[in-house]
Each structure stands twice: as structure tokens, then as C-alpha cells.
Structure 1
């Protein structure tokens, strides 16, 4: 992903974003494939350098990971389309403004370890449930669940974050866009307003 200096995010802020948005796309390139395998998935960030998740045994991603354990986990948040008129400079034709899209995106490059033993899968499930559903029952009491899944432990090797919100523009410009977002109130607009503030 292209990251301009004004869109770049420090690692700590990127990881905080991932912790707050624990759903993404796991991408496994495998070897000699025409396209990578892409799997939308819930996950849990354990510390700053480990991602834990589980997937169904028949998932096609397992073969790709066995071919090549280097994977990418892409996490994105709500996006907001910004019409060109909102970005036009005062006194110019609004039709000449350049539209864009505001969004946050973090990509974690990882080394994947497939977890097949019951104790390892239970560790992953317990960690995910403690984070997402603390009052859930013990997954050890669901034996069919364990036999139907495999776990993944991802060791994070690189963190790349991009928060695209016109960070290189002045406060007046960003204020005009914020006014448009506040008036429109569409999906993703509230998140974009928080970033502009």
C-alpha cells in the first residue's frame, strides 16, 4: 500500500487501531498460485507481536500457508467518500475539486504457525473468547468444535499503518471537509470526523 509521509502512522498507533478493530482479511500467497487465498476473519491481538485466530478445517487457506508461511493480515475501518466540491479551494469552481476517500488501514506481515493440537487450539479459543465474550462457556466442553477447526498463531514481523485524512492540508481545509461530513452523517463519516479532529 502506498503510504505518504502525512498518512503514515507510528507502530503503537497502528497496533492500537488493530486492537480496536479485530476483524480483517488474512492473505496467503502460497507458491505458484494465480491469486492468493483471502479469508475474512475475526482474530485476537495477543500482546504486540502475536495474532491468534482459528478457521474451519476445510478452509482453502491451509494449503497456501503450508506452501508459504509468510502471510499478510489486512485490517481496515469504516471509510468515507469525500466529494470533490468539499475539497475545492474557496473561490474556485467546486466541480474542480479532487474527490478522495478517507480511511484507516493497517497491514501486518506475519509468519504463520498452524496449530493442530487440542491444547494449542484451546489456548487460542480461550484467548479469543476472553476478549470477545468473557461470559462464554469453556471451549474444552465443546469437543466437536475442536475437531472442526485448526488454529493459527501469527508472529508479527512488520507493521504498516496508513490513516488517510488529508493530514498534509491546513486546518481551514480540513474544517471545510469536517463541515460536509457533519452535515451528511453517512456511514463512516463519524469515524472520519474523529480523525480530522
Structure 2
């Protein structure tokens, strides 16, 4: 992922706060020789307090075809993208050029976590990691706890494998025209507000936030 200086996060807190509100992404695993990479959409839980860059917890069904590749090469990448919109060319045109000469672009926020994966098959540890995920997604409670040999989930533990991903590097990007002249940024912000499409409001919030910073 190319990250220009003007698209880079202003601090670690910027990407961490954004990631805290996002818990669905795509896990990329190197394929075995001669095979393409595996790309697995999944819910995950990010725990910033573990290690220098945090860790990610997830689980997948035991029949998933990516396990052999993951065990062969535990170096993986978790990609999370959101708040993306299409920006029409005329919105980006410089003040001294015809509007039809403007170059369209994409706005988006993205965080990529490079991780070392550890597959968890121990039933007790697996149950603990599952409960941590449920606590994240259902903080209000309402679900039974996973425990080895106990209903209702104990017998299901053998059908899944848990993943503990230790984050070794983070790349983050907030592509919202931070390098453009004020007149162009004003035009884009107005266009997003007037269009009011899906994710336009969140993209505009990012644009204005980074401009004020």
C-alpha cells in the first residue's frame, strides 16, 4: 500500500481509534507453492494492550482450506478498509483549470496489520479466546460461556480452530486530499455533504478532521 506523507496517520492514536471501531477485515495468507494466496473475510478482536503493537483474536472452521498454508508460513496480513467514497473529477479540479479536467479519485481509511499467526487447538485456551471475542462483540452479555465439556458450546470446540495473531508492524492510511488547496478541499467537502451517499458523511468527517489538525 502506497502511503504519501500527507496520507499518513498523524499519530498512532489516529489509527488505533479508527481500528477500535472496526472489527471486520480480510486475512491474507501466503499460499503453498504454486497456489494463490488465501484471502479470508472474518470478524476479529483487536487487543491493543498485548505487546508493542497489540494482537488480534479470531477463529475459523476446522475444514477451512487455509490451515495448511498458514501452518507452512505464519506471516500474515490483516487488511481493514472503510469510509471509502468515489470523488468525481470536477470536485478535484484546480481553480485555474476547467472542471472537466479534474482527476477523479478514491477516498478511504485503511489499516494493515502484519502479524505472526499462532494456531490454537488447546481446548481450554481456545475457549478462553472465544469468550474474549464474545465479550467484545456482545458486551451486554446474553450468551453462555464456552467451557470444555460443558453445554452448549463445549462439544462445538473441536469443530473450530482459534487464531492468535501477534502484530509485528502496522501500516495505516487516511486518503482524504489533505495536500489539496483549500478551495479544492472546500469543494470536495461541499460535494460530499450535498451528495449524501453511503459513507459520504464519514469521509467528510475524516477530511475536515485532518484539515483542522
Name the TM-score, length of structure 2 as normaliser. 0.88
- C-alpha separation in 2, matches of 1:158 and 1:3: 15
* Normalised TM-score (structure 1): 0.95
Q: Secondary structure at the match of 2:7?
A: coil
8 Å CA contact 2:74, 2:117 repeated in 1: yes
Superposed CA deviations along residues 136-192 of structure 1, whole A, max 9, x for unmatched, are: 221223123312110000000000001100111133221110100001001110111
Distance in 2 (CA, whole Å) between partners of 1:120 and 1:71 is 21
Aligned residues: 197
Counterpart of 2:89? 84
- Identify which of 152, 158, 161 aligns with 1:150: 161
In the alignment, what sits opposite 2:22? 21
Does the 8 Å CA contact 1:11/1:159 hold for their aligned counterparts? no
Contact 1:27 1:36 in 2 (8 A): yes
Gaps of at least 5 residues in structure 1 are none
Unaligned runs of 5+ in 2: 209-213
The CA distance in 2 between the partners of 1:46 and 1:33, in whole Å, is 34
* Aligned match of 1:45: 46
The 1-side partners of 2:180 and 2:97 are apart by 17
Q: Secondary structure at the match of 2:83?
A: coil
Equivalent of residue 137 in structure 1, options 138, 144, 169: 144
Deviations 1:79-100 (A, max 9, x none): 1000001111235321100000
| 1:128 and 2:133 aligned | yes
Conservation of the 8 A alpha-carbon contact between 1:14 and 1:159:
no
Aligned-pair Cα RMSD in Å: 1.3
SS at match of 1:167: coil
Q: 1:81–1:102: 8 Å Cα contact kept in structure 2?
A: yes
Q: Residue in 2 aligned with 1:182?
A: 193
* Structure 1 partner of 2:211: none
Distance 1:75 1:187 in 2: 18
Aligned to 1:96: 101
CA distance in structure 2 between the aligned counterparts of 1:52 and 1:132, rounded to whole angstroms: 12
